[in-house]
Chains A and B, each alone.
Chain A
Amino acid sequence: MVLTERDYRLIASIQDGLPLVSRPYAELARQLDMGEEEVIGRIAEMQAAGIIKRLGVVVRHRELGYNANAMVVWDVPDERLDEAGSLLGAQRCVTLCYHRPRRLPDWPYNLFCMIHGVSRKSVLAAIERLIDELDLDGIAHQVLFSGRRFKQRGGHYRHSRSFGEP
Chain B
Amino acid sequence: MDDLDRAILNRLQEGFPICERPYARVAEQLGIGEAELLHRLEAMLAHNRLTRFGPMYNAGRMGGGLTLCAMSISDSDFERVARQVNEFPEVAHNYARDHRLNMWFVIATETPGRIPEVLGRIELITGYRVYNMPKKEEFFVGLKFEL
Contacts and interface: CB of A to CB of B under 8 A. Distances in A.
Interface of A: 3, 11, 14-18, 20-26, 36, 40, 43-44, 47, 49-61, 63-66, 69, 71, 85-86, 88-90, 92, 94-101, 103, 106-107, 112, 114, 116, 142, 144-158, 160, 162-165
A114 B68 CA distance: 13
A15 B52 CA distance: 9
B55 to A, nearest CB: 5
A55 to B, nearest CB: 4
A156 B12 contact: no
A17 B136 contact: no
Nearest to B38: A20
Nearest to B26: A56
21 contacts: A18-B54, A20-B41, A40-B20, A52-B58, A55-B15, A55-B55, A56-B16, A57-B53, A64-B145, A66-B145, A69-B95, A71-B104, A100-B135, A106-B72, A106-B101, A107-B101, A156-B92, A162-B110, A163-B64, A163-B111, A164-B64
A71 B99 CA distance: 11
Given A107-B131, A147-B95, A157-B110, A51 B57 contact: yes
Given A22-B24, A147-B96, A155 B144 contact: no
Interface string B1-27: 100000001001111101111111000
A14 B64 CA distance: 17
Contact of B66 (A147, A153, A155): A155
Contacts of B22: 24-25
Contacts of B18: 25, 40, 43-44, 47, 55
Contact of A145 (B49, B98, B136, B146): B98
Contact of B20 (A36, A97, A151): A36
A89 B140 CA distance: 5
Interface string B67-98: 01010100000000010011001011111111
